[in-house]
Amino acid sequence: MKLRRSRPQRALLPVVLACALPGAAHALDAACAKAITQANLKQIDAPAFHSVKRFSGTSLEVIKANGKLYQRLGTEPWAPASFTVQELREAVQVAERAL
């Protein structure tokens, strides 16, 4: 039996992610943090040289090029991501356990 997550529980996700990603909290606003899911991680990990992932409903974009992650929020210029794929995975796992 699969449990449905309620909206109040989903509201905790940004807080959990901000705690789980030290140094990256400034890069992830609440809307961005809510959009990070296991499916999104699979796309970030895509072996393509230049793959962009736009987190639906947010202004966060993540790109993986030459094995490195880059991020931008809205119209800001691309910058090296302040988190690694592994940190992102761990944050999602922590958030899923908390919910």
Supply the mean pLDDT for the chain.
56
* Angle at CA of residue 61, ends 59 and 66, nearest 5°: 170
Write down the pLDDT at residue 74: 72
Each residue's pLDDT tens digit, 35-49: 554 445 445 444 443
Each residue's pLDDT tens digit, 4-38: 444 444 444 444 444 445 444 444 444 444 455 44
How far apart CA 37 and CA 18 sit, in angstroms, is 15
How far apart CA 85 and CA 77 sit, in angstroms, is 20
Strand partners, 63: 52, 70
